[in-house]
């Protein structure tokens, strides 16, 4: 359940995100934190006004205050997005006729190419690297394999149930953001390894529906997955970030570099719009430049 705040209009909006939009707890918490921060500022600076009296000037003064605290443009844009959603909801509810966000301009963000692990480094990870012994190592290897083979998000993978896996059809059903389902194919080899993994689950896991479990039969925890993914990736790459999300970036980038259709990659990643997937085309262009510079006599 979402905790109630001291701001009644905000509580109704958060309930709307939870029960109608079906956003994840993580996403709703982010909205809540942004909006509470804003309303606290308004309460301090403009005591006694209601949300219907908020103006674009007031919003910009809040953003300016955060900019002075050296908050990044990316974070400011997220907060602006939270406010836009809140005021759009109020218009839909008939509380406002116009949003104060209409006059607020989002700061420009320098786009960074998504980091990814090179294909030969991923190959080395699975062929030359020794994983921990026993069930712990078996689980860690299977988790990393599935991350790289499917591009699943961390939350999607650790919440994945055995029933979402169809070994005979070599398909895994993924529940993404907003409980949207997508089907991802997996290789015959990985299907067989997953079958083997399930058959060897410890007796302590009986009754636990999760695909991946610990030695004690419990569901994996995000922090633990971060820790072992970082450990194994550090053996094969010098990338600064070594998180499960880097494996998602690697999955998408390697697909694009090997000629996959952009729309197909969008569906596999579970992106709502093509714009989110297009960032991976930049890595493809960089690879083409590299090939050109190495192969062309006039490069």
The catalytic site residues sit at 153, 177, 245, 248, 271, 280
**Long-range contacts at 67-72 (CB < 8 A, ≥ 24 apart):** none
- DSSP class of residue 160 equals -
Cα four-point dihedral sign 68, 69, 74, 76: negative
- Are 134 and 215 in contact, with CB atoms under 8 Å apart? yes
| Token couple for 84 | 């836009």
From residue 186, alpha-carbon distances to 165, 205, 206 in Å are 10, 24, 25
Indicate the DSSP class of residue 211. Answer: S
Give the strands of the sheet with 165-166, arranged side by side.
Answer: 165-166, 171-175, 181-185
Tell me how many helices (H) and strands (E) the chain has. 12, 3
Q: Give the whole-angstrom CA distance, residue 256 versus residue 226.
A: 25
| Nearest residue to 248 via CA among 127, 117, 71 | 117
Q: Are 147 and 249 in contact (CB under 8 A)?
A: no
- Return the axis-axis angle of helices 25-45 and 8-19, rounded to nearest 10°: 160
């Amino acid at each position: 359940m979402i905790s109630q705040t001291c701001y009644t209009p905000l509580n109704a909006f958060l309930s709307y995100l939870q029960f109608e939009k079906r956003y994840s707890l993580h996403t709703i918490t982010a909205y809540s934190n942004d909006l509470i921060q804003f309303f606290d500022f308004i309460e301090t600076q403009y005591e006694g006004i209601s949300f219907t009296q908020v103006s674009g000037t007031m919003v910009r003064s809040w953003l300016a205050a955060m900019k002075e605290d050296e908050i990044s443009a990316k974070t400011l844009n997220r907060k602006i997005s939270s406010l836009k959603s809140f005021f759009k909801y109020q218009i839909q509810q008939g509380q406002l006729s116009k949003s104060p966000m209409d006059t607020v301009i989002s700061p420009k963000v320098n786009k960074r190419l998504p980091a990814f692990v090179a294909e030969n480094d991923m190959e080395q990870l699975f062929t030359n690297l020794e994983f921990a012994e026993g069930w712990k190592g078996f689980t860690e290897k299977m988790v990393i394999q599935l991350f790289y083979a499917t591009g699943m998000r961390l939350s999607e993978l650790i919440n994945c149930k055995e029933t979402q896996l169809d070994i005979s059809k070599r398909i895994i059903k993924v529940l993404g953001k907003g409980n949207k389902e997508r089907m991802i194919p997996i290789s015959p080899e990985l299907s067989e390894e997953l079958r083997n993994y399930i058959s060897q689950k410890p007796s302590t896991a009986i009754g636990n529906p999760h695909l991946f479990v610990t030695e004690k039969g419990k569901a994996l925890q995000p922090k633990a997955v971060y820790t072992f993914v970082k450990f194994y990736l550090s053996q094969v790459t010098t990338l600064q970030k070594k998180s499960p999300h880097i494996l998602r970036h690697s999955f998408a980038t390697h697909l694009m570099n090997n000629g996959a259709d952009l729309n197909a990659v969008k569906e596999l990643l579970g992106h709502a719009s093509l714009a989110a997937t297009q960032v991976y085309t930049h890595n493809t262009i960089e690879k083409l430049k590299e090939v050109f510079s190495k192969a062309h006599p006039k490069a």
